[in-house]
Amino acid sequence: MKEKKKSDLSVLLGFAGSYKGLTFLGLGLSAVAMALGMLPYICIWLAARDLIAVAPDWTQATALAKYGWLAFAFAFGGIVVYFCALMCTHLAAFRTASNIRKAGLSHLMKTPLGFFDNNASGLLRNRLDGGAAETETLLAHNLADIVGTAAMFIGMLVLMFVFDWRMGAACLLSAVISVAAMFTMMGGKNAGLMAEYQAAQDVMSKAGTEYVRGIPVVKVFQQTVYSFKAFKAAIDAYSEKAQTYNDDVCRVPQSVNLTFTEGAFIFLVPAALILAPGALAKGDFAGFVTNFAFYAVFSAIVSTALARIMFASAGTMLAKTALGRINTVMDAPTLPVTDNPQSPRDNSVVFKDVSFTYDGAALPALDHVSFTVKPGQTVALVGPSGGGKTTAASLIPRFWDVSSGEVLVGGVNVKEIDPHALMERIAFVFQNTQLFKTSILENVRASRPEATREEALQALHAAQCDDIIDKLPQGIDTVIGSQGTYLSGGEQQRVALARAILKNAPIIVLDEATAFADPENEALIQKALKKLTEGRTVIMIAHRLSTVVGADKIIVLENGRVEEEGSHETLSASGGLYERMWKEYNRAVEWKIASGKEEA
Ligand code: ADP
Ligand code: MG
């Protein structure tokens, strides 16, 4: 059986939980408020009737004050009820938005960490926050207004026909014309033009972003806006489309629409002139004038009602965009978590026939890779860029799950280990180290928040960070990124190493820890690495082959496959890829030393 697709709105309301009822109460009150707001018009009719009945002896119209107060009471009551309605919808909307944020965050907690490589967390947060905020506006204001507008519309139709349907129809006629004019702008061939206009706007805004991104280049090379041909062309195309859309589509209908919305009484006067002789003949001229007075006043609310209907229809579109944003977060894949977790038996890491293909990639990043790292061993992954080293490293802490094969930690498939237990067992330092905008102390403690200040200091010392701390104004309490305290790539790397040292995990994964280091930093980083890796299981990825010479085993990855495996001694004389890489590396080092000598 096919399940009926839920509407965007009911999906959003689903997040309201127990506050859903409050939303409906608010909407009901909003309708009541609108109905109350229509009642003063009846008072006007009553007042007009009394006045015309006693004219010109006005003193006889004794009930006037009563009608006045009644009208005031209805209007005031309407405002009070509307206020209560908004209270209800706001309470529910705030709760719903907060539920959406919570649901989104708890969903993101279950997504594989690798997901955030391709989906910046800031962007996800923006989408979730933006979607939640839009929902807030929608549920707190728009929805109440939509329901109120519907109530107003029904009330308007009733009042139009209740006193004199012919004059009511005359008022309605102008409303019909203005709505019809509005629809011609959106329908038929004009819909195509509208789409073209919006497409041109999209192209322009994209080209604009591109242009802003390129400003540094523009400035450096002294270019002008004309060099950004695409942007200029997009602006020209947009202005042409806007002009066409204006002239061909909007001008006439919009004028008609405005004329008949604002002048809703336009048919009322001729209608009254036609009806007057009949009323005179029947002898009920007073009643006729009363009705005319009523409709003359009442026609003013027709334009208000129409304007509100237009805004309300915009509000329903908001539900779609809000839900779309929220869904980009909710549709993120999640990592399955095992129901009966097992504990790793030791600190070995084993890849068993592992293949992995990134979403949307044509070729696998890892292709039937197998290797074993015994407890306490240091194994180096080397090979040309794009060979799959980083991918292999990120499968160990389950940044991604394998496409096929198994990754075992301590003899247990990582999928069968409790994710927290797995994370506790592994410390990693990745290429793109990220420090938080907080103090050095807190940055180091991120790996083990319960660590003492003393322990953090020891870790920093072991990671050779003493020089960094000494030069910072508030030592380890200095907030990184504030007051111009920025750390170089190599310094950041050392702080990241201190973080890993503090974690004191038995398995260490290092991805090109020396990649960004200048020579001075490199020596320090090597020392820090030594401290970090002592007596632990280490999987290291390194550019500089000098750092892998001492590894227990070297695995050469090329195009996602294990090309060679063995110690430095055997591989450097095997005539294979590693030997070529080693010779290349030495030539580069010699060249560096030689050029250094010439300078001296
Ligand atoms: P290495 O670390 O050896 O340089 P990687 O493991 O980073 O290699 O990359 C292996 C292959 O996977 C490359 O072809 C790369 O383009 C691709 N790749 C890496 N990261 C991603 C990603 N997040 N999404 C899609 N493809 C990726
Ligand atoms: Mg890499």
Q: How many angstroms is it from 125 CA to the middle of ligand 2? A: 27
CATH number of the domain at 478, please.
Answer: 3.40.50.300
What token pair was written down for 61? 């119209």
Whether 361 and 241 map to the same domain: the answer is: no
For a pocket test of ligand 1, which of 390, 401, 511, 581 has the largest count of ligand atoms closer than 8 A to its C-beta? 390
397 and 437 housed in the same domain:
yes
pLDDT in tens, 384-394: 989 999 999 99
Is the backbone peptide bond immediately before 449 cis, with ω within 30 degrees of 0? no
Q: What is the pLDDT of residues 523-566, one digit of tens each?
A: 787 888 888 888 899 999 987 788 888 899 999 999 999 999 99
- When pLDDT is cut at 50, 70 and 90, the band that residue 596 belongs to is low
Distance 503 CA to ligand 2 centre (A): 23
Q: What is the CATH number of the domain that holds 44?
A: 1.20.1560.10
- Asked if residue 1 is part of any domain, the answer here is no
β pairing state of 404-409 and 378-382:
unpaired
**Which pLDDT does position 192 carry in this prediction?**
79
Asked if residue 4 has pLDDT above 80, the reply is no
Question: Which residues contact residue 286 at a Cβ distance below 8 angstroms, ignoring those fewer than 6 apart?
Answer: 49, 52, 53
Asked if residue 264 has pLDDT above 50, the reply is yes
165 in the same domain as 87: yes
Q: Is the pLDDT of residue 347 over 90?
A: yes
Q: Which of 43-47, 190-194, 220-224 has the lowest mean pLDDT?
A: 220-224
Tens digit of each residue's pLDDT (9 = 90 or more) over 285-337: 888 888 888 888 888 777 777 777 777 766 777 778 888 888 888 888 888 88
**Are residues 325 and 407 both part of a single domain?**
no
Query: What residues does 539 pair with on adjacent strands?
Result: 379, 509
Query: Quick one: pLDDT at residue 237?
Result: 92
Is residue 492 scored above 90 in pLDDT? no
Domain end among 330, 359, 386: 330
Taking the CA of residue 118 as reference, the ligand 1 atom at the shortest distance is 23
The percent of residues in the chain predicted with pLDDT above 70, rounded, is 94
Amino acid 568 reads H
412, 342 contact by CB (below 8 A) = yes
Q: What is the count of structural domains for the chain? A: 2
Q: CA 172 to CA 261: how far, in whole Å?
A: 10
| 598 domain residue, yes or no | no
If asked whether residues 310 and 439 sit together in one domain, one would say no
Residues 355, 224: one domain?
no
Task: Tell me whether residue 513 is in a domain.
Answer: yes
User: Mean pLDDT in the chain?
Assistant: 86
**Residue 405 structural domain:** 349-589
Does a structural domain hold residue 566? yes
What pLDDT does 101 receive? Answer: 93
Ion ligand 2 contact residues with beta carbon within 5 A:
390
- Are 532 and 413 members of one domain? yes
Q: Please check whether residue 115 lies inside any domain of the structure.
A: yes
Do 144 and 26 form a contact (C-beta atoms < 8 A)? yes
Question: CA–CA separation, 432 vs 430, rounded Å?
Answer: 6
Does 189 map to a domain? yes
Q: Give CA–CA dist 588/600, Å, rounded.
A: 19
Helix, strand, coil in percent for the chain, rounding step 5 = 65, 10, 25
Other CB atoms within a 10 A radius of the CB of residue 315 amount to 17
Residue that terminates a domain, selected from 298, 330, 362: 330
Q: What lines the ligand 1 site, CB under 6 Å?
A: 117-118, 358, 361, 365, 385-391
Contact predicate 207/234, CB 8 Å: yes
Structure tokens at 537: 């299981």
Boundary residue ending a domain (286, 301, 330): 330
Shared domain for 320 and 360, answered yes or no, is no
Residue 297 near residue 41, CB atoms below 8 Å: yes
Give the number of whichever ligand sits closest to the CA of residue 388. Answer: 1
At 47, is the secondary structure helix, strand, or coil?
Answer: helix
Cβ–Cβ under 8 Å, residues 388 and 358: no
Return the axis-axis angle of helices 143-162 and 285-330, rounded to nearest 10°.
Answer: 160
Residue nearest to atom 17 of ligand 1 (CA): 365
Does 359 lie in the same domain as 326?
Answer: no
301 and 381 share one domain: no
428 within some domain: yes
Mean pLDDT of 449-468: 91
Q: Are 299 and 164 in contact (CB under 8 A)?
A: no
Do 388 and 528 reside in the same domain of the chain?
yes
**Under a CB-based contact definition with an 8 Å cutoff, are residues 210 and 285 in contact?**
no
At residue 600, the pLDDT reads: 41
**pLDDT higher than 50, residue 2:** no
Judgement on whether residues 299 and 411 belong to the same structural domain of the protein: no
- Report the share of the chain in percent with pLDDT over 90: 32
